[in-house]
Amino acid sequence: MLTDTFAVRFYETDALKHVSNTVLVGWFEASRFPIFKMFTPELDLDNWPLILANYNVDFLQQIYMTSDVTVKTGISRIGNSSFVVYQELWQDNSLKAKGTTTLVHFDYQTERSAKIPADIKTQLEALLVEVPSPA
């Protein structure tokens, strides 16, 4: 799995003294950058080939400003034109949240999904992980 570490900043906390739920979505997106670069190495927004179809986040435990968080990113499913990114957020050796994001390889000219190129599919396959079953 790919890993990314983030310092928890004061303004990311809320009145309950834990990290706001909206922050996790941003950390997850930032941790998908290596996957974005597979499709467009320059991160060229004028030629962006992906569209977000769905995301889910399961909040398992509260996250505090006490220490950094680590996001682990892998791929749980690859289809012809779409794939599912699986991510976990860890703090102090404890799984705090997990989520999935479905991304579609998309042709904005035709407004239709497009087949994932073979070379990119190979790169995605290198990140395949088995998603733990719900307990």
* pLDDT tens for each residue of 97-116: 999 999 999 999 999 999 99
Over residues 13-35, the mean pLDDT reads 93
Residue 76 in contact with residue 31, Cβ under 8 Å?
Answer: no
The two beta strands, 94-107 and 50-59, are: antiparallel
Three-state SS letters, the chain: CEEEEECCCHHHECCCCCECHHHHHHHHHHHCHHHHHHHCCCCCHHHCCEEEEEEEEEECCCCCCCCCEEEEEEEEEECCCEEEEEEEEEECCEEEEEEEEEEEEEECCCCEECCCCHHHHHHHHCCECCCCCCC
Residue 38 counted as domain residue = yes
For residue 75, the enclosing domain spans: 2-125
Report the amino acid identity of residue 78.
I
The answer to whether the predicted template modeling score (pTM) of the entire model surpasses 0.85 is yes
Report the amino acid identity of residue 54.
N
Write down the pLDDT at residue 15: 84
Which CATH number belongs to the domain containing residue 50 in this structure? 3.10.129.10
Residue 85 counted as domain residue = yes
User: In total, how many domains does the chain have?
Assistant: 1
